[in-house]
Amino acid sequence: MSLMPLALLSSCEGGNQMEVFNYSNEFKSISASQWDYLANKRIFFGHQSVGYNIVQGMEDILRDNQQIKLTVIENAQQGQTGQASFAHSRVGRNEDPESKMLDFALKMDEGVGKGSDIAFFKLCYIDINPSTDIQKAFSLYKNTMDRLKTKYPDVTFVHVTTPLGVSAANWKTMIKELLGKEIWAYETNIARNRYNDLIREEYKGKEPIFDLARIESTYPDGKRSSFTKSGETYYSLVPGYTYDYGHLNETGRRIVAQELLIFLANVAEVHTKQ
């Protein structure tokens, strides 16, 4: 699967936005039957603010592509509806990754687990920072997901990498680097990169991963937004995809949403044919 199927025909890096894009052949290559598989699944997505950005992007795309009959609803009781839909709701509290993991598990146990075919949640960029015990957070995540997979074997659980923030170099960061000082915009993304590496190492090739961080850090031409520290390369959010530091603007949300729709169409097909 391509990581950046949108071809942006013109860009303005300094303006924090990119305009004029076309759907790639890959989006068009998803067959009508694959979109039907997706539309007939009961999907649950737990999130916070960046999640709302992604859902808005999905709604943008669905308005322009009415052949995709996916119904998007905000509903924390997906399991009680019994209807095929893309249901989403808030989970946990920002800056508290444990609360999001536990709340997602609670919602699964309260009915979502029995009423979903595909389920996933995401942390926010604000949940992972230099003070986070990365190994502890990942261990809790893995243990939570292991329990849910055992309890709900008919559900396909998707793993999502944590979104990134902007780490653009400027004269301030250059001075801090020369003085040997820590750079907050670097340190926070280093922590997120390390957490995401654990997700990939654990599940790559075994279970579905929606690599949100990779999408967010990839320019339309395939290059990556990155920085180096102590000889190591780390990835950050493309500045043109955000209106602040980490929330997605119209371009960013549409790029991520398109990737998510393609990804879920493929997951839905596999789930249907199991």
Query: What digits encode the pLDDT tens for the residues 26-80?
Result: 788 899 999 999 999 999 999 999 999 999 999 999 999 999 999 999 986 655 5
- Asked, for residue 157, whether it belongs to a domain, the answer is yes
Q: What is the pLDDT of residues 220-232, one digit of tens each?
A: 888 999 998 889 9
pLDDT greater than 50 at residue 2: no
Domain at 163, CATH number = 3.40.50.1110
- Asked, for residue 5, whether it belongs to a domain, the answer is no
Terminal-to-terminal C-alpha distance of the chain = 20
- Reduced to 3 states (helix: H, G, I; strand: E, B; else coil), residue 109 is helix
Q: Provide the residue range defining the domain that includes 131.
A: 21-273
- Asked, for residue 9, whether it belongs to a domain, the answer is no
- Asked, for residue 97, whether it belongs to a domain, the answer is yes
Amino acid at 60: D
- Asked, for residue 223, whether it belongs to a domain, the answer is yes
- ∠ at Cα 139 (96, 158), nearest 5°? 80
104 neighbors 135 (Cβ within 8 angstroms): no
Q: Model's pTM, two decimal places? A: 0.88
- Asked, for residue 248, whether it belongs to a domain, the answer is yes
Q: Could you give the angle at which helices 97-107 and 134-151 cross, rounded to 10 degrees?
A: 0
Structure tokens at 237: 């959010």
Element (H, E) at 270: helix 250-273
Domain count within the chain: 1
